[in-house]
Amino acid sequence: MLPSPRHLLHPRRPRRIAMLSVHTSPLHQPGTGDAGGMNVYIVELARQLAAAGIEVEVFTRATTGALDPTVELAPGVLVRHIDAGPYEGLAKEELPAQLCAFTHGVMQAWAGHRPGHYDLVHSHYWLSGHVGWLASQRWGVPLVHTMHTMAKVKNAFLAEGDAPEPPARVIGEQQIVRAADRLIGNTAEEARDLVHHYDADPARTDVVHPGVNLETFRPADGRAAARARLGLPQDALVPLFAGRIQPLKAPDVLLRAVAQLVDADPSLRSRLLVPVVGGPSGSGLAKPERLQKLAARLGIADLVRFRPPVGQAQLADWYRAASVLVMPSYSESFGLVALEAQACGTPVVAASVGGLPVAVSDRESGFLVPGHDPADYARALRRFLDDDALGARMGEAAARHAADFGWDAAAAATAETYTAALQSRRRRLRSLHG
């Protein structure tokens, strides 16, 4: 049944949107399990959209009975917890079987409102895209979808020991690309991947760079004070890994690089400390001690400090305390961690993959490394040891670079995508109604 002509009276911008994040909640702690950059993305985007006058309701799967069915994340941002499967012990790979239950919960919430309550659906990740597809059809509103990661891209750059994404996900992503009114890519490269791998319509694919919370992530009182608070030596080279511990993020490459540095120059053992801040995730969940065992085998267990995921304020302190952030990832949709570190005045050594060439200004705010050879990362780290002024110089450039990526700009661009989706649907409906 076609929506009535009255439904064509949408405002130019949406008043309220339904944001879908099936497999991970914006309330979860980034850095462990399936919580990471996407959680930060949804939280910050929703806050900025609400500040701009667009209310956001985020639907996510309930993973504990301790939380209320609805939680106010910020003024104008509501998180709705949907019962779909057991609270605990359900892997992300098992969630497709719960999409029907999740969709039922979303529809129940919608049924309690007056018609037209939501003007648009914005789904994140392919699991949410399937729920969004049905919701947009049922409600007669546009669907905007952000992939965040794509199966075909991940499988093309698979880390050793990581499991490939299943064909069912590839098929699911192709269906969402066809169904969505508009797609959002984090970078121009991601938009090209959508067109190349999934035959997305370039005219309906927008590029919106994610942002960074410049109030939380800033240089503040500097490296010395941050190291004093965290109990780190003032004169050490501190290459930091921050994020989920899984093969995709390649923290092992950093450990192997540090081992090569120490093997080549044993005197560095007294000048190196490697914090690893994060928890096991993805394929790493099966063997959470694998990285600790690797450090022991490499003979650098005494140089590595493993720390659990921390909140945003303390994470900012880890960034400030670090000499350099190291991101040897095999695939990154964007790399928010790199942007956060730079906003704190810390340079980055990162793999030249995905969105990292956008997030990092090569040879200005850090170094981009082609490939994942630990020797290349060791050489990049050695430059900071050999040139005492390099870290400070690149750190200042890093803070300037990150300042161009505020979430207010990301929210404004996203709102433009919403407006375009509403307008194109309105034109189609007008043509159908003559």
Binding residues for UDP-N-acetyl-alpha-D-glucosamine are 29-30, 37, 244, 249, 310, 332, 340
Question: With contact defined as beta carbons under 8 Å apart, do 320 and 345 qualify?
Answer: yes
Structure token pair of residue 298: 């490499």
DSSP tag of 114 = -
- Name the binding residues: 23, 29-30, 34-39, 92, 125, 149, 169, 244, 249, 310, 319-320, 322, 332, 340, 346
188 vs 304: CA distance, rounded Å: 36
| Angle (CA) 412 417 422, round 5° | 120
In this structure, the dihedral spanned by the alpha carbons of residues 168, 172, 173 and 176, taken in order and rounded to 10 degrees, is 180
Nearest to 221 by CA among 345, 67, 95: 345
Residues in the chain: 434
The one-letter code for the residue type at 75 is P
Helices then strands, counting H and E runs in the chain, come out as 15, 14
From residue 343, give the alpha-carbon distance in Å to each of 120, 188, 396.
Answer: 32, 22, 9
> Exposure string (b/e) for 286-309, b if CB count within 10 Å is 16 or more?
eeeebbeebbeebebeebbebeeb
Structure token pair of residue 261: 């540095």
- Tokens 């993973």 — which residue? 63
Nearest to 88 by CA among 61, 64, 59: 64
- Name the binding residues for Mg(2+): 319-320, 322, 346
Three-state SS for 23? coil
The DSSP code sequence of 322-366 is: -SEEEE--S--SS-HHHHHHHHTT--EEEES-TTHHHHS-BTTTE
- Name the binding residues for 1D-myo-inositol 3-phosphate: 23, 34-39, 92, 125, 149, 169
Chain CA centroid to CA 39, Å: 6
